[in-house]
Amino acid sequence: MTEHIKNERWVYFADWEHGPAARVEDLVLLGYDHFSKATPLTSHMHEDAYEFVYVDQGAVDWEVGEEPYSTNAQHIIHTRPGERHRASFDYIGPSTIWWMIIRDPAQEKEWFGLQEEERQIFVKWIQNCPRVQLVSKDIVIYFKRLKQLLQQQQHTELLEFQLRHYVLELLLHILHHPQHVVQSPNMHTYTLQLKERLLQNPFERYTIGQLAEEMGLSESHFYRVFRETNGQSPTAYMERVRMDYACQVLKESEMSITDIAMELGFKTSQHFSTVFKKMIGMTPKAWRKQNTK
């Protein structure tokens, strides 16, 4: 993603709409975000609702309560009613996400128009849903269809039914389908191992050739599978891991910005600051001032 591309956002607010769509009150919010640069995403919660976030492209680190969670492309993460959550370090890096907020089925007797027995099945499924899971890319079809329906200028008699249908189809895709495997489960495991190696030795500069050789793949094949699995290039992924590490050091130590740049393998502090601002949204100096007492 390049810097000249602007962030894109589309959000549907149930309470602000009119016509049949407004009667689907259990769909609180539906949204799409394309972040071309680091953007603030601070702590918040939904008192009586669940939020589901699907990562279409990129890698996003989250904090739910005090627990950290990492997501890559084809991951979906959810939060429960009353759980405070945010993007790690209050900033979400370049990525594309779809997200949906729905009312808690345990508290809504007429949840999406289901019969009591059906509603209780969803209550059980949603309460036992893994925090983070892999899903098929097909899930985007349901998000896009919902968006198209909500953007209709004319509300037909079937709109309310269609909206309920696609929300429930999307939830079934998340809650009741077996976890889908991304294009390469081995690459997913390798990505997590690579992240650990970078956090332990952030100054290391691995070439795509080196990484491909470790996996026993050609450079072109490695690059394609890595991008399909993680939604971004190996270089972009490794740079994001280094910037997350830099945030931790800036917050927890008094190391100079120059020393941090050297530890991360940058030749100059100016280059480090440029990359940091692109990923995090502000200079290292400004970020440290904002995040330390």
Low-confidence winner among 176-180, 188-192, 237-241, 253-257 (lowest mean pLDDT) = 176-180
Q: Is the pLDDT of residue 183 over 80?
A: no
The per-residue pLDDT for 1 is 35
Would you state the pLDDT for residue 89? 79
Give the pLDDT confidence of 10-62 residue by residue, as tens digits: 998 765 455 556 668 899 999 999 988 778 899 999 999 999 999 998 888 89
- Reported pTM: 0.72
The answer to whether 248 touches 258, Cβ cutoff 8 Å, is no
Output phi, psi for 59, to 5 deg: -130, 130
Mean pLDDT of the chain: 86
pLDDT category at 179 given cuts 50, 70, 90 is low
Checking if the pLDDT of 132 tops 80, the result is yes
Could you give the domains of the chain?
A: 8-175 (2.60.120.10), 185-291 (1.10.10.60)
Instruction: Give alpha helix (H) positions in 62-150.
Output: 116-127, 139-150
pLDDT, mean of residues 73-88: 92
Greatest Cα-to-Cα distance within the chain, rounded to the nearest angstrom: 64
- Examine the pLDDT at 3 and tell me if it is beyond 60: no
Cα distance between residue 165 and residue 142, in whole Å: 10
Q: What is the pLDDT averaged over residues 202-214?
A: 93
Question: Residue 17 has what pLDDT?
Answer: 52
